[in-house]
Amino acid sequence: MSDLSGKAIIVTGASRGIGAATALELAQSGASVILAARSEQDIKHNAQQIRNHGGQAEAVTCDVSKYKDVEALISHCESTFGRLDGLVNNAGVIEPIGHIATSDPNAWNHATTINFNGVYHGIRAALPIMMAQQHGTIITVGSGAAHSALEGWSHYCASKAAAHMLTLCAHKEAASFGVDVVSLSPGTVATEMQILIKASGINPVSQLETSDHLEAEWPAKAITWLCSGGATDYSGQEVSLRDADIRQKIGLAIN
Ligand code: NAP
């Protein structure tokens, strides 16, 4: 069991899915958690649930596509908990699924701004603090789509590939300051995102059944393990939940 007592960790995209499960798992391991997303009621509810079970949690409304929101989020963590030990760049969107030739440029740009610039905003705001204190963990929730082209997902594949490279670049600049920067590729996970993917019917991922997907608790446990020191051996790399060795290290079933 990971022990994150005394640590303060921010999770973006914590209103549902992987982010909500991660906030809960981190809090159960003793971390003080800040849940961030656009849906204020949902993050407030999730934070209250954590507090009801004896954990420490705060909700901060934040649109990661806006740098001022992310800056305020990081400041809130420092002023509330007096520290910043971890940042989980989890917020992401799959819509609008569709072909490039018929895509709406505004919607395409908005999705890539969330998936890519949102990660940049988090790293940009967190790094000066973590580098000054000579420790910290930044985890970006990546995707196999960063490395594999898929029909109808040009915005998603391109922005996840860019976020992956940004994560590797951040490692180059932060490693000597004791800051670990890693990417986690979770495989397919049973969340609202997969419901949208299935409804699109566009590519092979949409043909998967709900039973083919992992529960959100799996990436949540992986992220908690990474925040507990697991990231140090993998800084500058992508950790994949499809990797049996990684699953074993985290204590998840291998098959
Ligand atoms: P989800 O259930 O749809 O949750 C997405 C989260 O991102 C929500 O909390 C949403 O909250 C938040 N979000 C979206 N836009 C945001 C913005 N502009 N600012 C702040 N928060 C925002 O999806 P999920 O499956 O948990 O996805 C979490 C991450 O895992 C994403 O980065 C996704 O790409 C990645 N991933 C998922 C899978 C999968 O199979 N599910 C596979 C590989 C990678 P609000 O709408 O309230 O803002």
Q: Which of 29, 27, 77, 73 is nearest to 52 (CA)?
A: 27
Burial class (CB in 10 A: 0-12, 13-18, 19+), 110: middle
Question: Consecutive sets of 10 residues in the chain, 255 residues long: mean pLDDT of each?
Answer: 92 98 98 98 98 97 98 97 97 98 98 98 98 97 97 98 98 98 97 97 95 96 96 95 93 75
Query: Ligand 1: which residue has its CA nearest to atom 2?
Result: 17
Give start and end residues of each alpha helix (H) in 93-234: 105-112, 118-133, 154-174, 192-200, 217-227
Using the CB atoms, write b or e for 28-66: b if 16+ within 10 Å: bbbbbbbbbbbeeebbbebbeebeeeebbbbbbbbbbbe
Residue 196 lies in a domain: no
Residue 58 lies in a domain: yes
Q: Which residue of 41, 43, 93, 188 sits with most ligand 1 atoms within 8 Å of its CB, as the best mutation to test the pocket?
A: 93
Separation of 37 CA from ligand 1 center, angstroms?
9
The per-residue pLDDT for 254 is: 63
The per-residue pLDDT for 90 is: 98
pLDDT 10s digits, 142-177:
999 999 999 999 999 999 999 999 999 999 999 999
The response to whether residue 184 sits with its C-beta less than 6 Å from ligand 1 reads: no
Residue 2 lies in a domain: no
Catalytic residue list contains 120: no
The whole domain housing 97 covers 8-187+216-250
Residue 14's domain is classified under what CATH number?
A: 3.40.50.720
The response to whether residue 139 sits with its C-beta less than 6 Å from ligand 1 reads: no
Q: Which residue of 10, 11, 12, 15 sits with most ligand 1 atoms within 8 Å of its CB, as the best mutation to test the pocket?
A: 15
Residue 205 lies in a domain: no
Residue 194 lies in a domain: no
The per-residue pLDDT for 253 is: 76
Number of domains in the chain: 1
The response to whether residue 63 sits with its C-beta less than 6 Å from ligand 1 reads: yes
The per-residue pLDDT for 16 is: 98
Residue 198 lies in a domain: no
Separation of 129 CA from ligand 1 center, angstroms?
25
The pTM of the whole model exceeds 0.95: yes
Query: Which structure tokens are listed for 191?
Result: 């969340």
pLDDT 10s digits, 186-217:
999 999 999 999 999 999 999 999 999 999 99
**Torsion sign across C-alpha atoms 226, 43, 75, 115:** positive
Residue 203 lies in a domain: no
Residue 192 lies in a domain: no
The per-residue pLDDT for 2 is: 82
Kind and range of the H or E run holding 58: strand 56-61
Separation of 240 CA from ligand 1 center, angstroms?
18
The response to whether residue 28 sits with its C-beta less than 6 Å from ligand 1 reads: no
